[in-house]
Amino acid sequence: MKKLALLLCGMFFAAGLVFASGGADAKGSSGGTITIGGIFPLSGPVAVYGVEARNGIELAIEEINAAGGINGQKVVLISEDDEGNPEKTVNAYKKLTTKDKASIIIGSLTSGCTQAITSLAQTQKVLLVAPAATMESITDAGDFIFRSCFIDPFQGTVGGIFAATDIGAKKAAVLYDNGNDYSVGLTDNFIAAFEQQGGTLVAKESYITGDVDFNAQLTKIKSADPEVVYLPDYYSTVSLIAKQLRAQGIEAPIVGADGWDGLTENAGDEVLNGFYSNHYASDSTDPKVVNFVKAYQGKFKSVPVSFAALGYDSLYLIRDAILRAGSAEAPKVRDALAQTKGSYVTGNLTFDAKRNPIKSAVMVELVKRNGKLSTVYKTTVNP
């Protein structure tokens, strides 16, 4: 584990949320509200991401309002469901920026949905903060685009080095969605890192979004006899692949990324001996994590996955920037946000020149506890 951290030393590493002032701006010590609109996939194949992110934001709002709001102004949430569909993300964005007059947005959750609105936000000078969009190009649209998660090159590299060093695999296979930018980006960086550590890629198979039968690809993978299989996709697809993979008798460890969050509630024993990179570990002993998990469980009666933590942190990042700026005007908040240097649930965070966070990642393992799937912390990788 120490070797993994050292090898990555020096590296850095996709929910829509909107602030609009109900009074003149957030400078006021009383009166008015700060309206927050959220774009989340609250239904559809990645709904767990949106529900968790919204829950994290609602918890943050509850805490902030209980402490007096932001400069005396209460925070109010408006939610929009984009169903994980980029066209609906654009519609939600237009509604929030025209009807609701929003000038600061957090969203959306997945990279494809977020990418659909980055150019619009930049052109209109709307501050956009993506909680979980890990595709590298998300912030390329310009200086009004930020994110609170690490990027795909970082976690793809983390997965590749973990497979080679911690698992000790010499031969790897990859099964990925060749039409999904998230899956492709992770695949490329996993392979590069694994081979750099002396590993050999023995099989690289692909499918298209919406496929449900992976047996042909898995037959080829089985014949290559890999010692680890990388599955860079979202939990709903990974659960299907893992069932068919184990049914074919492939017992090798499986490794993935943050899209696996949600497997504990949507998969079975087939994902055991599985590991994935993530934004935080709910069983961490860090006081900020302990307090967040306790508060979340008290409100929502479940253990928060990383999307809840990222939503929670996104709101606090913007809250802190508004306080530093003394205003909720998007250009002023943008300037203050770029100067962030603080400690949050998902780690110590600053922004690089492209407004990507410089922060740590964790690797977690899927295990069985009291008859239920759960995750346990394995290691932290610092930038």
Contact call for residues 15 and 318 (beta carbons, < 8 A): no
- CB neighbours of 222 closer than 8 A, spacing ≥ 6? 248, 249, 250
Q: How far, in Å, are 44, 158, 304, 321, 359 from residue 8 at the CA level?
A: 36, 8, 27, 29, 12
Integer Cα distance of 241 and 249 in angstroms: 13
Q: What is the CATH number of domain 2-150+285-360?
A: 3.40.50.2300
Report H helices in the chain: 2-7, 47-66, 86-98, 111-123, 152-161, 181-196, 215-224, 235-247, 263-266, 287-300, 306-325, 330-338
Contact call for residues 15 and 42 (beta carbons, < 8 A): no
Is 2-150+285-360's fold the same as 152-278's? Answer: yes
Average confidence (pLDDT) over 246-252: 98
Sign of the alpha-carbon torsion through 101, 103, 107, 113: positive
Q: Could you tell me the strand order of the sheet in which 357-358 lies?
A: 341-344, 347-351, 357-358
* Nearest CA-CA partner of 55 in 73, 69, 40: 40
* Span 116-149, pLDDT tens digits: 999 999 999 999 999 999 888 999 999 999 999 9
Whether the per-residue pLDDT at 33 is higher than 90: the answer is no
* Nearest CA-CA partner of 230 in 310, 174, 289: 174
What residue type is 53 in one-letter code?
A
Residue 43 half-sphere exposure, CB side, CA atoms within 13 Å?
Answer: 5
- CB neighbours of 216 closer than 8 A, spacing ≥ 6? none
Contact call for residues 153 and 189 (beta carbons, < 8 A): yes
Q: Which residue has the higher pLDDT, 241 or 31?
A: 241
Q: Could you tell me the strand order of the sheet in which 145-147 lies?
A: 74-81, 33-40, 16-21, 104-106, 127-130, 145-147
Q: Which residue has the higher pLDDT, 217 or 329?
A: 217
Rg (CA), the chain: 20
Question: Could you state, in order of their start, the residue ranges of all structural domains in the chain?
Answer: 2-150+285-360, 152-278
* Span 231-245, pLDDT tens digits: 999 999 999 999 999
* Span 154-168, pLDDT tens digits: 999 999 999 999 999
HEC letters along 97-153:
HHCCCCCEEECCCCHHHHHHHHHHHHHCCCEEEECCCCCHHHHHHCCCEEECCCCHH
The confidence score (pLDDT) of residue 200 equals 98
The confidence score (pLDDT) of residue 1 equals 42
Whether the per-residue pLDDT at 9 is higher than 60: the answer is no
Considering only 19-23, 29-33, 244-248, 329-333, which range has the smallest mean pLDDT?
A: 19-23
Ramachandran area for residue 38 (φ above 0: left; ψ -120 to 50: alpha; else beta):
beta
The confidence score (pLDDT) of residue 383 equals 67
CATH of the domain spanning 152-278, picked from 3.40.50.2300, 3.30.390.30, 3.50.50.60, 3.40.50.720: 3.40.50.2300
The confidence score (pLDDT) of residue 215 equals 98
* Span 87-121, pLDDT tens digits: 999 999 999 999 988 888 989 999 999 999 999 99
Integer Cα distance of 172 and 166 in angstroms: 14
Q: Please tell me whether the peptide bond between 374 and the residue prior to it is cis, using omega within 30 degrees of 0.
A: no
The confidence score (pLDDT) of residue 5 equals 39
